[in-house]
Amino acid sequence: MAAPVIGFPASPLLVFNVAAYSSSSSRPAIIPVSTAAGHGRPRVLPHFTDLRVSVCQRRLRSLMVTYSAKATRRAMVVCEAEAKAGAIEENFQVTVPDVTKATWRPIVLECDKTVVVEFWASWCEPCRVIHPVISNLSESYKEKIRCFKINTDENPDIVSEYGIKSIPTVVILKSGKVVEKVIGAVPETTLITFIEEHLDK
């Protein structure tokens, strides 16, 4: 008995979804229409092909919509988590007050505690690294020291007076006099070592 004549689907991705079974074997057999019919011109069964393509297209659209929805939900969760983390970090970071040429003497020189001053500028990338370090020190030693920062672009006279050649530079003063000058975005432990040396015992 001859195998049933099966037409090839329009999409090459769906070729292996179409199969015919012969009476002598349980294995699927795909037979070109031209061979089975004995004619030189291939014949296609459009109703079968259209059915397969239509079903696959509907499933593909369904899968795409499901994947898109899941990806959107994951992105929303990640963004929300990052926003919360940023808010928590911002809330825990202590704001270090600025000083200027006008406030330098009463705030820095006349302070009765050890003073830590960060010389910085808005365009300085390493300064952004040292900002949270000074903030942490301000909180950790709030009973023993006073921390400030001064913008070098806005206060060139102070920069010149204290010989600041590069930034960030952290200056430690005690009784209005410079006792340490630390250049660069150094680790917090380095600053702690210098600060501990000049605290009132």
The one catalytic residue among 56, 111, 124, 147 = 124
Residue 23 makes CB contacts below 8 A (sequence gap 6+) with 1, 3
Residue whose C-alpha is closest to residue 174's, from 119, 117, 96, 109 = 109
Contact 151, 97 (CB under 8 A): no
Q: Provide DSSP, 109-158.
A: IT-SSEEEEEEE-TT-HHHHHHHHHHHHHHHHTTTTEEEEEEETTT-HHH
Active-site residue, 124 included = yes
Residue 181: burial class (beta carbons within 10 Å; 0-12, 13-18, 19+): middle
User: End-to-end CA distance of the chain, in Å?
Assistant: 107
Active-site residue, 111 included = no
Helices 188-197, 125-140: inter-axial angle, 10-degree rounding: 50
The one catalytic residue among 56, 79, 111, 127 = 127
By annotation, the residues acting in catalysis are 124, 127
